[in-house]
Amino acid sequence: MNRRIYEDIPQQELREKWFKSHLLGREVELKELYELPQDQLDLVMAETAEYRSDIGNRDRNLGKFCTAGYFLELSRIIDKRRSMD
């Protein structure tokens, strides 16, 4: 694992927080978003956007709904930064 990547991650995002991705077939930790290949980051964005678009998910599992939103927004930020490089 590249130590340089973790130097760029804000301290609050180094805490364990994960999203269970069915498209990737595993749990993804928040800090992993920075190092995911673009195709996997795209899948996380699609999956979390889909989860957030169903408002019924908020009532069924508020924690996962909020976590999906956080993963989606951070993934979008990372994606935007990558496209600027």
Looking at the predicted structure, is the pLDDT value of residue 47 above 60?
Answer: yes
SS3 assignment for 5-37: HHHCCCHHHCCCCEEEECCCCEEEEHHHHHCCC
Per-residue confidence (pLDDT) for residue 2, from 0 to 100: 46
Would you list the domain boundaries of the chain? Answer: 22-84
Question: How far is residue 76's CA from residue 78's CA, in Å, rounded to a whole number?
Answer: 5
How confident is the model over 50-74, as pLDDT tens digits? 999 999 999 999 989 999 999 999 9
**Does pTM top 0.85 for this prediction?**
no
Question: CB burial class (10 A; 0-12, 13-18, 19+) of residue 57?
Answer: middle
pLDDT above 50: residue 42: yes
